[in-house]
Structure 1
Amino acid sequence: METIQTDICIIGAGSGGLSIAAGAVQMGARVVLIEGGEMGGDCLNSGCVPSKALIAAAKQAHAMTAGAAFGITPVAPEINFAKVKDHVAAVIAGIAPVDSQDRFEGLGVRVIREWARFTGPDEVTAGSFKIKARRYVVATGSRPFIPPIPGIESIPYLTNETIFAQRDRPEHLIVIGGGPIGMEMAQAHRRLGCKVTVVEAAKALGHDDPEAAAVVLARMRGEGVELLEDAPVVRVGGTDGAIEVEIKNGRIIKGSHLLMAVGRQVSLEGLGLEAAGVNHSRKGVTVGADLRSSNRKVYAVGDAAGGLQFTHVAGYHAGIVIRQMLFGLPSKSSTAHIPWATYTDPELAQVGPTEAEARKAHGDALKTMRFDYAENDRAQAERKTDGFIKVMVVKGRPIGVTIVGAQAGELIGLWALVIATKRKMGAVAGTVLPYPTLAEVSKRAAGAYFSPTLFDNPLIKRVVGVVQRYIP
């Protein structure tokens, strides 16, 4: 067995692991990167990239049916489902070289394509290699969670890891789980010609602002997606092409394919964390704000760190860890400024607490500013008037923002910056934006914060009156 001495050993070549490896090796550290699966991790191969490529194809199909308001006769698109999946595969292939083994070896990273296991507090084995490093990073990501539903072990089902290889169009896709993954896939498949039923045990998009979620759900129902809420699944059965899902009220939904989208679980099995003295739970490695575990040599990032499960969070964690490992600088992570988006149509984006969460934390000190897409000229021009922005403000400073509507995932970036840099509402209200753009919904919401002071203040009106009478 070959022993490798190195500065940093990273387990997992997803977003977080790759970011750390690239940054560290280019700044002079010796880096070993271990990956037993595919380079690029879930995001590239079975998550963000293929799902957004599929959504893009579905948007093109939907546009052909939605032109009547513009004076364009709707037509039924001819959908070649296999070629849609070729498009998805081509997008992955176009991005893959950036995450490839060749690229990272070219940067100077030692890449080992094996499964890793801790054999001690400062030692990892992977295949025929023993790695002894000064510091380790667990960046193993997560995988689909499959709940123990009676019958699930005996029927074929899809997850995000397998659905993008499905080249035959499902006649009737049943989706168990009404979270972001389930809802994105439900709408995309409906637009691509599938009958779709979503079964959710509680409320669809239940972790989001309920008013914003209602806008998305209304659109999906309008497009023909059947949404069953408060419908726990008690049994599944059937065979390939003939699936049955029984819900608590006794109703049986019959479909051709089943997608399990009820959440994700952190991938820590087989890592030997006990041997390394690394405390962990089913939620992930137990870490502090500095992302260090109970073993000071071992960090965890991304999904493995047990917090928000987003690709951009893993990239953010990479910066936190690099500052500590390479420069010895104290650095701590926070979630207050982390945005996220659900890429349905309309999109739903959030940074910071929702209105209900902010109200619970701040009570009467909270002010909520709102502006509707229907009052935005660009939204009117493009017939994309469904949606709104809602800004939660405490003492002049935004603490949370909800946006539902066209390009919400793009618009939330401004507010992530404002919250991260602790700017006040005046910074957004004073920004000059090109007209007409959807971005103006943010400026108008910020301006609304100052409207009562400017327009409903008797003192302001007296001052204006004096100026108009006496100052030439």
Structure 2
Amino acid sequence: MSVIDTDICIIGAGSGGLSVAAGAVQMGARVVLIEGHKMGGDCLNYGCVPSKALLAAGHKAHATAEAAFGVAGHDPAPDFAAAKDHVEAVIETIAPVDSEERFEGLGVHVIREFARFVSETEVEAGPHRIRARRFVVATGSRPLVPPIPGLETTPHHTNETIFELLERPRHLIVIGGGPIGMEMAQAHRRLGCEVTVLEGARALGRDDPEAAALVLEDLRAEGIAIEEGAKVASVSGQEGAIIVETEDGRRFEGSHLLVAVGRQVNVDRLDLEKAGVDYDRRGVTVDKGLRSTNKRVYAVGDAAGGLQFTHVAGYHAGVIIRPMLFGLPAKARTDHIPWVTYTEPELAQVGMTEAEARAKHGDGLFVARADFAHNDRAIATGQARGFAKVMVVKGRPVGATIVGPQAGELIQTWALAIANGLKMSAVAGMVAPYPTLGEINKRAAGAYFSPRLFDSALVKRIVRFVQRVIP
């Protein structure tokens, strides 16, 4: 067995691990990066990238079929296999950025094996034993497959296998009404499949109820059956003839089954006990600086037990680089982290929802709102449906919800404001080009100031005084 001494050993080549590796090696640290599966992790191979590519194919089919602005729609006759070819081409285009060759070229020692700790300062990976001053657990997560009776013997897909399916499902049943389930439901519906979504509680239940209701209304209008309060009791059948029964006695039949009920963190095979690292089913136990109970071991991304988004893993990488390379203090925060459901319409959130802000701030909360119905660009493009609302406390945004066209792009204004502690006046003072969807953010900021200006008796007295006295 070869022994490798290094400064930093990173376990996992997803977004977080790759970001740490690239940053650390280019600033002079010796870096070993261990990956037992695919470079790029879940996001590149099974998650963010393929799902958005498939959604784009579905969007193209839907736009072609829809009549609008005096232009007749027509049957797009989507080629399901060709849509999957597009997904694969997108992955192949992005993959070189995350490849072993690129990181070896940067000076990272890449080992393509699964790793496990053998002591507080060592891991083994295949024929290698790696000794490091610091370790980063960046192992991500995998689809959670719940213990539903019959599921083990019934053909089913997760996000790790659904993109390999080249034959169009006649009727896709999706268990799980969260972002992954709803995105895949819309993509498959627009590519010619019947789709039924079964959600045990409320679909898109993590999001603002008003915004989620608008998304669900539009998805149902496209022909997606969304059954809420449908807790699955059992599944059975074979591919082409799937049966799902719920606890309240309902029965659903389809041709294919997708399970999208959550994620399970990949820490179970690391032998963390041998490193003195505490963990539970949510991930590694970390402090505010993402350091574990072993001061040599950090965790980032899904493995850190918090928000499970690719951009969070990348953010975590920036946090831990400071103490690992420079000995500087750094803490991770979550109040400025945005997330997006990429259905059409998109649903984006950063910071607190209205309900969360009301519970914390009570009467001190002001909700500033702007509707796409009053946005000229949205009207011109036939997308004047949705809204932006911003939760404001003492003149500063503490959260924002946007549902509508390009919500994932528009939410970034509020993510910037919250991350940097900006006041609403910073957004109100911005000059937005006309006509753009981005004007909705400026209008929301204006909605905060309008009652303070137009409904203020003091302001009106000052204006009258100036008009009488100052020439």
TM-score category of the 2 structures, normalised to the smaller one? over 0.9
Instruction: Please name the residue that 1:445 is paired with.
Output: 444
Instruction: Please name the residue that 1:200 is paired with.
Output: 199
Residue deviations 1:52-86 (CA, integer Å, cap 9, x gap): 00000100000012233x11111111111111111
Residue identity over aligned pairs, in percent, reads 69
**Which runs of 5 or more residues in structure 2 are unaligned?**
none
* CA RMSD between the two structures: 0.7
Instruction: Please name the residue that 1:405 is paired with.
Output: 404
More moved, 364-373 vs 276-285: 364-373
Inter-partner Cα distance in structure 1 for 2:151 and 2:397 = 45
Instruction: Please name the residue that 2:346 is paired with.
Output: 347
Instruction: Please name the residue that 1:6 is paired with.
Output: 6
Inter-partner Cα distance in structure 2 for 1:249 and 1:25 = 56
Instruction: Please name the residue that 1:241 is paired with.
Output: 240
Instruction: Please name the residue that 1:118 is paired with.
Output: 117
For residues 289-368 of structure 1, the aligned pairs below 5 Å read 289-368=288-367
Inter-partner Cα distance in structure 1 for 2:469 and 2:106 = 71
For residues 67-78 of structure 1, the aligned pairs below 5 Å read 67-68=67-68, 70-78=69-77
Instruction: Please name the residue that 2:457 is paired with.
Output: 458
Instruction: Please name the residue that 2:268 is paired with.
Output: 269
Instruction: Please name the residue that 1:32 is paired with.
Output: 32
Residue deviations 1:190-223 (CA, integer Å, cap 9, x gap): 0000000000000000000000000100000000
Instruction: Please name the residue that 2:147 is paired with.
Output: 148
Q: Tell me the SS of whatever aligns to 1:55.
A: helix
Inter-partner Cα distance in structure 2 for 1:460 and 1:372 = 27
Q: What's the TM-score once normalised by structure 1's chain length?
A: 0.99
Runs of 4+ displaced beyond 6 Å: none
Q: What's the TM-score once normalised by structure 2's chain length?
A: 0.99
Q: Tell me the SS of whatever aligns to 2:275.
A: coil
Inter-partner Cα distance in structure 2 for 1:461 and 1:141 = 58
Inter-partner Cα distance in structure 1 for 2:286 and 2:64 = 49
Instruction: Please name the residue that 2:48 is paired with.
Output: 48
**Which runs of 5 or more residues in structure 1 are unaligned?**
none
Inter-partner Cα distance in structure 1 for 2:283 and 2:304 = 5
Inter-partner Cα distance in structure 1 for 2:430 and 2:137 = 41
Inter-partner Cα distance in structure 2 for 1:464 and 1:31 = 65
Q: Tell me the SS of whatever aligns to 1:274.
A: helix
Inter-partner Cα distance in structure 2 for 1:291 and 1:465 = 57
Inter-partner Cα distance in structure 1 for 2:29 and 2:451 = 56
- In the TM superposition, residue 364 of structure 1 has moved relative to its aligned partner by 0.8
Residue deviations 1:88-143 (CA, integer Å, cap 9, x gap): 00000000000000000000000000000000111100000000000000000000
For residues 208-287 of structure 1, the aligned pairs below 5 Å read 208-287=207-286
More moved, 267-276 vs 453-462: 453-462
Instruction: Please name the residue that 2:66 is paired with.
Output: 66
More moved, 171-180 vs 462-471: 462-471
Inter-partner Cα distance in structure 2 for 1:460 and 1:125 = 71
Q: Does structure 1 residue 177 correspond to structure 2 residue 176?
A: yes
Counterpart residue type for residue 321 of structure 1: I
Counterpart residue type for residue 14 of structure 1: G
Instruction: Please name the residue that 1:19 is paired with.
Output: 19
Counterpart residue type for residue 237 of structure 1: S
Q: Tell me the SS of whatever aligns to 2:173.
A: strand
Residue deviations 1:259-280 (CA, integer Å, cap 9, x gap): 0000001011210100000000
